[in-house]
Amino acid sequence: MLKPYDFANEVADCARSVEAALDRYLDRARLSGPGPAAERVVAAMRHGSLNGGKRLRPLLVRQAAQVFGVSPEASLQAGLAVEAVHCYSLIHDDLPAMDDDDLRRGQPTVHVAFDEATAILAGDALLTHAFAILAEESCHPDPAVRIALVAELAAGSGAGGMVGGQMRDIEGEKGGFSNGDIETMQAMKTGALIRASVRMGAILGQADPRALSAMTAYAEAAGRAFQLADDILDVTATSEAMGKATGKDEGRGKQTLVGQLGLEEARRTLEAMVADAVMALRTFGPRADGLRSTARYFATRKN
Amino acid sequence: MLKPYDFANEVADCARSVEAALDRYLDRARLSGPGPAAERVVAAMRHGSLNGGKRLRPLLVRQAAQVFGVSPEASLQAGLAVEAVHCYSLIHDDLPAMDDDDLRRGQPTVHVAFDEATAILAGDALLTHAFAILAEESCHPDPAVRIALVAELAAGSGAGGMVGGQMRDIEGEKGGFSNGDIETMQAMKTGALIRASVRMGAILGQADPRALSAMTAYAEAAGRAFQLADDILDVTATSEAMGKATGKDEGRGKQTLVGQLGLEEARRTLEAMVADAVMALRTFGPRADGLRSTARYFATRKN
């Protein structure tokens, strides 16, 4: 019999596992290639990834895998790959040519702590090693599963996913975005990697097409909720609670749903998104309680 | 019976196939992800990759695969993935924070034709899609082969390969590099991807460990020859013949083997590297003539 799902404990345990596994992986010896990894780029990769992040994407991989009976240990490596992609995207997004942020989680960003060239290279290397991590036999014994994970992560991260969303976001700063354009941009910029995380968990669990489709519906609703909550926090939270600058969306003319809908309507929309996410899991039993808790957490988080 | 190997024809045919296949792949419809690919980033990916390059890395994939009886058509997709990685690395290397180059093959570089943010994202997307290309079933029917290709490309491109070499190159501009340091840097910066190209061809051909080891020895010697020839050309060729600025290594204090050995000794060393590369192929018959021609071409090319 399953114990009632202890969300806070699960989040903390997952974050600890990811931090420790990233630390082990980023040990120079593991960054295999024909030559010895350059110490400076490895130090920058560590700075940009071993930073006490919440590790929500590996949590989603783990919780989605759990729906199909896959243990947290067996889903950790796939979660690590998604987190490496997330960390690379933050390093590149923080660059002067992009969002030009000096602080992340209260620490200097990678291009401030090192320099721009090193930050570009550290991001490139984290992205590259995400795929190396998925290719290792320890990720899953079946090569067909591992290559499906590679395909899923690449689709979520590329021009039709995260990178495409970031491009649309930059273009949107010029103005003229409709609500639909904002939703497409956000579905790609943050939603695509959340979607890939959930689907990678399902792929690890060798979910059948119907289950994969339900998991995808969950992921898309949860991803929308995550982004809308982020936009609401940008308006309402203090910079101290977030560990980064807030109020910056309006400051740089970024168009968000909160700006278009107003705060009250945005909060109602957020509730509806969470309800959609939970509804998508209705055919799964208590093994999906993790995913249910995470969707609710997305709407209530304070940072 | 095999015809005598027609190198010029093979190079031209391979370049044409790669250009056409990249064009098809970068058609928006193929850049699959959960959302519609952002047109601006796709345009920048096209600018940075459909530029009449020599496509030497896909040529190496093709020639290495041919040693094991794999047809040019069957090795094209793996070659495409390597070329996508090569093109991403050029886009990022040209950025103001890195080499700050305005011209490549006589055309404005991506950050000049678009802007820095778009160039960073286009590079990120090309790197990501390289792995998507390898994950497609059309790359090779066996998932075990496809995942081995992913592992090989990631190892060659990451912190222990190309990116690590680029980091060392930047650090080397501060001076104090020995001949050994320069060779390590170059073996990683350009050698690692050349090595991966040859090994990926051998992996497509499901080479046994002994054959793979001979192919690796070829690739390492050919990679050294390629880089030394590049350094010699930087000293001796005109900017017009190269389609990019020359003489810039000395101008920015980059340390190269030519600087350390002198031009005459560098030319003798180059000949010895080509001889090593050809020697590594001694157990293979006429099917390895392609690789032999390419090693010789590396030492005699004019641009």
What are the strands, taking DSSP E only, across B68-176? 103-104, 107-108
Residue of chain B whose alpha carbon sits nearest to that of A37: B160
> How many other β-carbons are positioned within 10 Å of the β-carbon of residue B175?
9
Asked whether the beta carbons of residue B163 and residue A40 sit closer than 8 angstroms, the reply is no
What pLDDT is recorded for position B287? 96
Q: Considering the domain boundaries, does residue A2 fall inside one?
A: no
Among the listed residues B47, B46, B17, B14, the one whose alpha carbon sits nearest the alpha carbon of residue B31: B46
Helix/strand/coil for A46: helix
Report DSSP state, residue B104: E
Alpha-carbon gap, residue B189 to B174, rounded angstroms: 17
SS3 content of chain B, % helix, strand, coil (to 5): 75, 0, 25
Give the mean pLDDT of A78-83: 98
Alpha-carbon gap, residue A302 to A39, rounded angstroms: 36
Alpha-carbon gap, residue A247 to A257, rounded angstroms: 14
Alpha-carbon gap, residue A73 to A62, rounded angstroms: 9
Q: Considering the domain boundaries, does residue B24 fall inside one?
A: yes
Alpha-carbon gap, residue A61 to A63, rounded angstroms: 6
Asked whether the beta carbons of residue A158 and residue B132 sit closer than 8 angstroms, the reply is yes
Q: Considering the domain boundaries, does residue A1 fall inside one?
A: no
The DSSP secondary structure of A130-197, one letter per residue, reads HHHHHHSGGG-S-HHHHHHHHHHHHHHHSTTTHHHHHHHHHHHTTS---HHHHHHHHIIIIIHHHHHH
- Distances, alpha carbon B192 to alpha carbons A34, A55, A130, B165, in Å: 6, 32, 18, 9
What pLDDT is recorded for position A18? 97
B204: its two tokens = 């497509």
Note whether B64 contacts A: Cβ–Cβ < 8 A: no
pLDDT digit string (tens) for A96-110?
999 999 999 899 999
pLDDT band at A209; cut points 50, 70, 90: very high
What pLDDT is recorded for position A258? 87
ipTM of the complex: 0.94
How far is residue A158 CA from its own chain's centroid? 14
Inter-residue contact A118 to A44 (CB < 8 Å): yes
Q: Considering the domain boundaries, does residue B1 fall inside one?
A: no
What pLDDT is recorded for position B250? 60
Chain A to chain B, count of Cβ pairs less than 8 Å apart? 228
Q: Which helix (H) or strand (E) holds A43?
A: helix A39-49
Asked whether the beta carbons of residue A170 and residue B117 sit closer than 8 angstroms, the reply is yes
Note whether A22 contacts B: Cβ–Cβ < 8 A: no
Count of H-run helices and E-run strands, chain B:
16, 2
Q: Considering the domain boundaries, does residue B85 fall inside one?
A: yes
What pLDDT is recorded for position B245? 62
pLDDT digit string (tens) for A132-176?
999 999 999 999 999 999 999 999 999 999 999 999 999 887 777
Range of the domain at B241: 7-300
State the nearest Cα–Cα gap between B300 and chain A, in angstroms.
26
> Which of 31-60 (B) contact A at CB < 8 A?
31-38, 40-42, 45
Inter-residue contact A72 to A14 (CB < 8 Å): yes
How far is residue B230 CA from its own chain's centroid? 13
**CATH number for the domain including B52?**
1.10.600.10
Q: Considering the domain boundaries, does residue B211 fall inside one?
A: yes
Q: Considering the domain boundaries, does residue A274 fall inside one?
A: yes
**Rama region for B55: left / alpha / beta (φ>0; ψ in -120 to 50; rest):** left
Q: Considering the domain boundaries, does residue B2 fall inside one?
A: no
**Rama region for B247: left / alpha / beta (φ>0; ψ in -120 to 50; rest):** left
> Which of 71-90 (A) contact B at CB < 8 A?
88
What pLDDT is recorded for position A52? 86
Per-residue pLDDT of chain B (303 residues; tens, 9 = 90+): 456 678 999 999 999 999 999 999 998 767 878 888 889 999 999 999 998 889 999 999 999 999 999 999 999 999 999 999 999 999 999 999 999 999 998 999 999 999 999 999 999 999 999 999 999 999 999 999 999 999 999 999 999 999 999 999 998 877 778 878 888 898 999 999 999 999 999 999 999 999 999 999 999 999 999 999 988 998 887 655 655 566 666 655 566 778 888 899 999 999 999 999 999 999 999 999 999 999 999 888 776
Phi, psi of B103 (to 5 degrees): -125, 140
State the nearest Cα–Cα gap between A81 and chain B, in angstroms.
13
What pLDDT is recorded for position B180? 84
Note whether B261 contacts A: Cβ–Cβ < 8 A: no
B230: its two tokens = 């590049």
Alpha-carbon gap, residue A275 to A296, rounded angstroms: 9
Chain A positions touching B31 (Cβ under 8 A) are 158-160, 164
Alpha-carbon gap, residue A166 to A187, rounded angstroms: 11
A43's CB contacts (< 8 A; 6+ apart) are A114
What pLDDT is recorded for position B74? 98
pLDDT digit string (tens) for A184-196?
898 999 999 999 9
Chain B positions touching A171 (Cβ under 8 A) are 38, 40
Among the listed residues A300, A285, A294, A273, the one whose alpha carbon sits nearest the alpha carbon of residue A59: A294
What's the structural domain count of chain B?
1
Alpha-carbon gap, residue A89 to B194, rounded angstroms: 27
Note whether A144 contacts B: Cβ–Cβ < 8 A: yes
What pLDDT is recorded for position B174? 77
Among the listed residues A137, A187, A174, A195, the one whose alpha carbon sits nearest the alpha carbon of residue B143: A137
Note whether B166 contacts A: Cβ–Cβ < 8 A: yes
- Average pLDDT over chain A reads 91
Alpha-carbon gap, residue A208 to B213, rounded angstroms: 41
What pLDDT is recorded for position B299? 86
What are the strands, taking DSSP E only, across chain A? 103-104, 107-108
Note whether A160 contacts B: Cβ–Cβ < 8 A: yes
State the nearest Cα–Cα gap between A265 and chain B, in angstroms.
25
**Model confidence at A83: pLDDT above 90:** yes
Inter-residue contact B273 to B224 (CB < 8 Å): yes
